[in-house]
């Protein structure tokens, strides 16, 4: 169920973010950029986590994940009341 919910959320939010950032004409480019940063970030994080696990075992695994969960939560909640960028641009 966890994998199902995570994959479905990713499938829904990825295109929505791309349309919000890139608009109708540049949604594919924005989606590619979003996905590339996702995989680059995961690669960097997994390098750090791998080194930590090699040194300490799984003792600090969850402590490594907590700060990233907090950063993600702060970013999501900071965007919760954000309005559509196109409406803001059209008003100016």
CA Rg value for the chain: 17
Percent of the residues in the chain that have a pLDDT greater than 70, as a whole number: 80
| Mean of all residue pLDDT scores within the chain | 78
62 closest CA partner among 71, 75, 54, 53: 53
Residue 47's pLDDT is 92
CA distance linking residue 86 with residue 21, whole number of Å: 9
Mean pLDDT, residues 31-60 taken together: 86
Mean pLDDT, residues 59-87 taken together: 78
CA distance linking residue 3 with residue 10, whole number of Å: 11
Confidence of residue 35 (pLDDT cuts 50, 70, 90): confident
Range of the domain at 83: 2-91
- Name the domain count of the chain: 1
Instruction: Give the three-class secondary structure for 57.
Output: coil
Mean pLDDT, residues 46-51 taken together: 89
Place of tokens 């479905």: 8
């Amino acid at each position: 169920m966890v994998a199902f919910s995570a994959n479905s959320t990713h499938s829904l939010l990825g295109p929505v973010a791309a349309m919000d950032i890139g608009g109708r004409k540049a949604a594919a480019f924005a989606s590619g950029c979003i996905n590339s940063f996702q995989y680059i970030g995961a690669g960097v994080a997994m390098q750090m986590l791998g080194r930590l696990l090699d040194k300490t075992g799984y003792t600090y695994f969850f402590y490594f994940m907590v700060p990233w969960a907090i950063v993600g939560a702060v970013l999501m909640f900071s965007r919760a009341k954000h309005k559509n960028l196109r409406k803001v641009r059209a008003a100016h």
